[in-house]
Amino acid sequence: MQLTGLLWGKKLLERVEFPTATVLGPEASVDEIKDLIEKCGQVFIKPIFKGGVGKKGKSGLIGRVSDITEALKEKERLYFCEHKVGNIISKADGVTFEGGVPAEHEVYFSIADSTIFRAPTMTITHHGGVDIEELPKDKIAEIPFDPLTGLKSFHVSNALEALGAPKEIISPLVQNLPKLWDLYNNYGMSTLELNPIRMMPNKKGRLTPVACDFKGSFDIDSPAWKRLGLPGHLFASDYSEFEQEINQLRTYQGQSDVFVMNDKGTITAPTFGGGANALVTELLGERATISSDFGGNPPYEKMHDISRIVMKYWLKQSNVLFIIGGKANNTDIFETFRAMTDALRDYFNTYGPTPIFVVVGRGGPNLVRGMSYMRDTLESLRIPYRIFGHDSAMSEVVNYALKIDTWMEKEGRKQLEDRDNA
Q: Return the pLDDT at 54.
A: 62
Q: Exposure pattern of 254-293 as b/e (b: 16+ CB <10 Å)?
A: bbbbbbbbbeebbbbbbbbbeebbebbbebbeebbbbbbb
91 plus 111 within the same structural domain: no
Among 40, 75, 99, where does a domain finish? 99
Among 99, 121, 147, where does a domain finish? 99
- CATH value at residue 162: 3.30.470.20
Helices (H), 233-287: 241-247, 274-284
Q: Is the peptide bond before 365 cis (omega within 30 degrees of 0)?
A: no
User: Cα separations (Å) of 356 from 268, 317, 382, 408?
Assistant: 10, 9, 10, 8
Q: How far is Cα 207 from Cα 168, in angstroms, rounded to an integer?
A: 7
82 plus 143 within the same structural domain: no
206 plus 283 within the same structural domain: no
190 plus 318 within the same structural domain: no
126 plus 87 within the same structural domain: no
Q: Return the pLDDT at 391.
A: 84
Q: Return the pLDDT at 272.
A: 85
Q: How far is Cα 89 from Cα 105, in angstroms, rounded to an integer?
A: 34
Question: How big is the chain by its Cα radius of gyration, in Å?
Answer: 25
Q: How far is Cα 223 from Cα 253, in angstroms, rounded to an integer?
A: 10
For residues 5 and 54, the answer to whether their CB atoms sit within 8 Å is no
306 plus 413 within the same structural domain: yes
DSSP 120-165: EEEEEESB-SS-GGGS-GGG-EEEE--TTT---HHHHHHHHHHHT-
- Hey, which residues does 43 pair with through a beta bridge? 65, 99
199 plus 331 within the same structural domain: no
- In sign, the C-alpha dihedral spanning 15, 46, 61, 100 is negative
Tens of pLDDT, residue by residue, the chain (422 residues): 678 889 989 999 999 999 999 999 998 999 999 999 999 999 999 998 776 666 666 677 899 999 999 999 999 999 888 877 666 677 787 899 999 999 999 999 999 988 888 899 999 999 987 778 788 989 999 999 999 999 999 999 999 999 999 999 999 999 999 999 999 999 989 999 999 999 999 888 899 999 999 999 887 667 787 788 776 556 555 456 776 677 666 544 444 567 788 889 999 999 887 677 778 888 898 899 988 878 778 889 989 998 999 999 999 999 999 999 888 777 889 999 999 999 999 999 999 999 999 999 988 889 999 999 999 999 999 999 999 988 888 889 999 999 999 999 999 999 999 888 87
Q: How far is Cα 292 from Cα 313, in angstroms, rounded to an integer?
A: 14
Report pLDDT digits (tens) over 46-84: 998 776 666 666 677 899 999 999 999 999 999 888 877
Residues in the chain: 422
Report pLDDT digits (tens) over 312-326: 999 999 999 999 988
Q: How far is Cα 238 from Cα 92, in angstroms, rounded to an integer?
A: 10
133 plus 271 within the same structural domain: no
407 plus 351 within the same structural domain: yes
Q: Which domain holds residue 198?
A: 106-224
* Of residues 192, 194, 175, the one with CA closest to residue 183: 192
User: Cα separations (Å) of 381 from 340, 378, 384, 420?
Assistant: 14, 5, 9, 11
Among 174, 199, 224, where does a domain finish? 224
Q: Return the pLDDT at 251.
A: 41
User: Cα separations (Å) of 413 from 317, 356, 385, 410?
Assistant: 11, 7, 13, 8
Fill in the amino acid letter for 43: V
For residues 271 and 325, the answer to whether their CB atoms sit within 8 Å is yes
Q: Return the pLDDT at 61.
A: 86
For residues 153 and 170, the answer to whether their CB atoms sit within 8 Å is no
174 plus 135 within the same structural domain: yes
60: left (phi over 0), alpha (psi -120 to 50) or beta: left
Ramachandran angles phi, psi of 405, nearest 5°: -60, -45
Q: Return the pLDDT at 126.
A: 94
142 plus 94 within the same structural domain: no
